[in-house]
Structure 1
Amino acid sequence: MKSNISALGKLAFMTMLSVVAGCGTASQPVEVEPAKPAVDMTQPITIKFFNNASNEIFEEEIGKRVRAKFPNIKIEPVGNGFTRTNMEKLVAAGEVPDLFWIGFQENISDIKQLGLSFDLAELIKRDKYDLNRFEDIALQMVKNQGDKGELFALPWQTASAVMFYNKDLFDKFAVPYPKDGMTWQEAIELGKKMSRTENGVEYKGFDPGRWSYYYQQYGVNMYDPVTGKATYMSDPKWRTIMQFFQDAYTSQGTIPAKIQENRNPFMVDKTVAMLPWAAYFQPFLAAKDTGLNFDMVSVPTPPDAKGQGISPAASILLISPLSKYKEQGWEILKFLASDEVETANSRIGFPPAIKLQAAKDQFGADLPGMQSLNMKAVFYNKPTVQPAVKGEYQSAAFQPFTQMMQDVGMGRKDINTALRDAQDVADKAIQEVKAR
């Protein structure tokens, strides 16, 4: 027993000496990481939040969720869909929002030029916020908007597309339904079998739907930063895109006197058999009440780009540099991008921007009628990363796009002429931007 006490005493003495010695050694300070200051989310403040959609959708996706999480914070929606013009009006009126929900990462270029961009990098570093949880392509497309490694936004929702088809029309004309993995040409050929006039009603087998899908699947950039010109004549993929577009309209019976992106002939009139459109299901499900019997397959792809989907077109969340509530705003952004909210978004039909498979597996679960649809079509193709879009040159290059598509689709111009005219208009618009 005596020897044990002696050993313990020696141990205690040596421990005391080491502690004293450690306290007196100035050259070896113990580094303690400063604690992150707590953000008081209980104070009654008003956060102005730029609204990318209708007030009803904003309330469902943001308003009620933020209030439930932070009861003392009032969320006030401002604006209704982003355009540079309406944002300039808010700035001129002194009504700059604290937070932004914007539909496309490309709009960051406008946000920067208006002096409304705020780099989240320091907050992300301070909080050790995990960016790896986001879908790689959606995050990369936001990162591409920074010139020096800045990250001006968090991805929130991604875009997907499917091809809707009217089951009743296919049954009526005894034609097999479309399938996942079709090419655009296969969809056009199937549309030919469905196009006809019956009892005075003209049916179109295939409508091209959203025109941007065709260049997004190729990842085509309308503006070449190396040459400083548009790419309509220099990139051969534009000729392929326009050939498809011409075939889609000229092969479906009579050539229309007017064309536009319009889902009503499919959804309301029920005279279109197949329609590629955004995987935003609420309007289509509502049309079931008027007798629309539909299902969906993956959006078709070019034969030389099979499996390539559309741009993820990340719906994004940003903080204004002018906000007095940046810390509170950052907490709100993190909450909205959390697994909890991303999964809730997925359940009401908005593809999540995170990798969490459980969120994807619950896609559309809260939408009545979704359970009977071919849900794998939404994630069948992989998103296609798009070129970095910076500044106003891309917008200038885009100016003739709609006119070019209409001229070719309505047979007013041949493809060569339409591309050449688009190139001229775009290059002139680019020069005007440079001359400002």
Structure 2
Amino acid sequence: MNHTRKGYLTWATILVTAMTISACAGGAAETKSPPANEAAGETPKAPVVDMSKPITLTFFNNASNEIFEQEIGARIRAKYPNVTIKTVGNGFTRSNIEKLLASGEQIDLFWIGFQESIADMKALGLAMDLTAFIKREGYDLSRFDDSALQMVKDQSDKGEIFALPWQVGSAVLFYNKDLFDKFGVSYPKDGMTWNETLELAKKVTRSDNGVQYRGLDIGLTRHFYQQYALSPYDPKTGKATYLSDPRWNRIMQFVKDLYAIPGNRPEKIVEDRAGFMQQKVVAMLPWSAYFQPFLGAQDLNFNIAALPVFDDAKGQGVSPAASILMMSPSTKYKDEGWEILKFLASDEVEIGNSRIGFPPAIKLQAAKDQFGADLPGVEKLNMKAVFHNKLTPQPVIRGDLHSAAIRPYVPMIQNIGNDKADINTSLRDSQEAADKAIQEINSR
């Protein structure tokens, strides 16, 4: 779930089930971080951390305050009633973090999204290696989804573990059952390719009683390059990849074919969730597997299928790195912070958050099986579609370089979709624009 979700909730907040496991007590009044000079081969014994003493931890929030309260705030209070959580943030960007640091804000823990964020956190001196904590307790990293954990490991220089995976990004194909029924067309199925989806879209793109219905909206545009694990920037050459990687051409050919369907091109090419949810003129919408807004939409009779895939990338889903948990190396509460991170990544919390619709980053099948179980109306949905495709690890990209290189991508989609430029010209123009932006960053 790219995965800030600020403003998405349009329905009443789900009551969070209180945690019943009592906090560990005892131990010294002050704890120390893991020693850096342990003898080779020795595993330091984990200290007993006194979580009964009152402390305040500042937590960087990656979403709305309401979502933070559901997923983190209420759960920490139930488990550790003497820990006060102060939130700052509301969505990760490097400039957002820099402003907080410039104001003198001391941040202890971070909930942030997307793989490139770790590189930015390292550059800002905010990435703490968690390896010492992991080793001293024999913490089992294999419980995490392989692709999500690999993306964390890929950000290390010397084998460091700078974060714990927390949630994964999944996506599905939403479809309006009423429109398919109206035109007598069979519903989408799990395992379709994008070409098959285009053929299906042609059957439900129609004008009826003065209303133009569109068979397929482009949805979240990042999903296409994520399915290919395609980076807009090549660190080896220091340039964009729009001309060097033929997969961009394949994506743009899909865009051209999508908007070449008579009646399927909207007045303005955007990620049109409103056309699906409110106006109900879009039959199919590829979107993140975040169901609260859709379930809360009035009179929307929908279901889901697995996100379609490219013919040459079958089974490949979107990026696994929806969000991660990190700790600042400057926090005064390293041991307490580690306890909080462990707790949030525990089976208990992952299952609880899965039940309210946030895909878990752990392998535990029970967490996947209970996905969305507490969302009213989810029982009618094909929830196995959420985990039909495998998550696709993404290449390591520095955040500012990724942002610069990907900037021409959506305008390119709009130009090709509106027949303002052909594919080759658009790719060439995007390459030039991205290379210029990259050069500006490197010259600073």
TM-score (norm 2): 0.89
Q: Distance in 2 between matches of 1:254 and 1:415?
A: 19
Aligned match of 1:327: 335
Distance 1:34 1:216, change over 3 A: closer
Q: Distance in 2 between matches of 1:247 and 1:315?
A: 33
Question: What amino acid maps onto 1:232 in structure 2?
Answer: Y
Aligned match of 2:140: 130
Give 1:271's match in structure 2, choosing from 260, 266, 281. Answer: 281
Q: Distance in 2 between matches of 1:118 and 1:328?
A: 14
Give 1:369's match in structure 2, choosing from 361, 369, 377. Answer: 377
Aligned match of 1:76: 86
| TM-superposition CA deviations, 1:384-436 (whole Å, max 9, x none) | 11112235322221121121121112221111111000000111111111111
Q: Distance in 2 between matches of 1:419 and 1:57?
A: 38
Worse-matched range after superposition: 328-337 or 173-182: 173-182
Whether 1:162 aligns to 2:172 is: yes
Distance 1:252 1:280, change over 3 A: farther
Whether 1:356 aligns to 2:344 is: no
Distance 1:386 1:42, change over 3 A: same
Whether 1:224 aligns to 2:238 is: no
> For the Cα contact (< 8 Å) 2:277–2:294, is it kept in 1?
yes
Deviation at 1:34, TM superposition (A): 5.5
> For the Cα contact (< 8 Å) 2:217–2:272, is it kept in 1?
no
Q: Distance in 2 between matches of 1:383 and 1:132?
A: 16
Q: How many matched pairs?
A: 404
Give 1:380's match in structure 2, choosing from 365, 382, 388. Answer: 388
Question: What amino acid maps onto 2:136 in structure 1?
Answer: R
Q: Distance in 1 between matches of 2:164 and 2:70?
A: 20
> For the Cα contact (< 8 Å) 2:215–2:264, is it kept in 1?
no
Deviation at 1:63, TM superposition (A): 0.3
Whether 1:425 aligns to 2:433 is: yes
Deviation at 1:314, TM superposition (A): 3.4
Give 1:286's match in structure 2, choosing from 296, 318, 321. Answer: 296
Whether 1:244 aligns to 2:254 is: yes
Aligned match of 2:305: 297
Worse-matched range after superposition: 396-405 or 292-301: 396-405
Aligned match of 1:144: 154
Deviation at 1:353, TM superposition (A): 0.5
Deviation at 1:68, TM superposition (A): 0.6
Q: Distance in 1 between matches of 2:262 and 2:68?
A: 39
Any gaps of 5 or more consecutive residues in structure 2? Answer: 1-40
Counting only pairs closer than 5 Å after superposition, residues 47-58 of structure 1 correspond to structure 2 as: 47-58=57-68
Whether 1:411 aligns to 2:419 is: yes
Q: Distance in 1 between matches of 2:90 and 2:422?
A: 38
> For the Cα contact (< 8 Å) 1:206–1:252, is it kept in 2?
no
Distance 1:254 1:175, change over 3 A: closer
| TM-superposition CA deviations, 1:251-278 (whole Å, max 9, x none) | 1516333211131100111000000100
Task: Give the number of the structure whose residues are more often helix, by fraction.
Answer: 1
Counting only pairs closer than 5 Å after superposition, residues 96-245 of structure 1 correspond to structure 2 as: 96-245=106-255
Q: Distance in 1 between matches of 2:399 and 2:57?
A: 28
SS in 1 for 2:198: helix
SS in 2 for 1:392: helix
Q: Distance in 1 between matches of 2:157 and 2:125?
A: 15
> For the Cα contact (< 8 Å) 1:204–1:252, is it kept in 2?
no
Whether 1:62 aligns to 2:83 is: no
> For the Cα contact (< 8 Å) 1:52–1:79, is it kept in 2?
yes
> For the Cα contact (< 8 Å) 1:259–1:409, is it kept in 2?
yes
Q: Distance in 1 between matches of 2:132 and 2:374?
A: 37
> For the Cα contact (< 8 Å) 2:116–2:398, is it kept in 1?
yes
Q: Distance in 2 between matches of 1:248 and 1:300?
A: 14
Aligned match of 2:347: 339
Distance 1:324 1:32, change over 3 A: closer
Q: Distance in 1 between matches of 2:295 and 2:106?
A: 36
> For the Cα contact (< 8 Å) 2:170–2:359, is it kept in 1?
yes
Any gaps of 5 or more consecutive residues in structure 1? Answer: 1-30
Aligned match of 1:11: none
SS in 2 for 1:89: helix
Counting only pairs closer than 5 Å after superposition, residues 27-66 of structure 1 correspond to structure 2 as: 35-66=45-76
Question: What amino acid maps onto 1:364 in structure 2?
Answer: G
TM-score (norm 1): 0.90
Larger-Rg structure: 1
> For the Cα contact (< 8 Å) 2:165–2:321, is it kept in 1?
no
Q: Distance in 1 between matches of 2:113 and 2:42?
A: 42
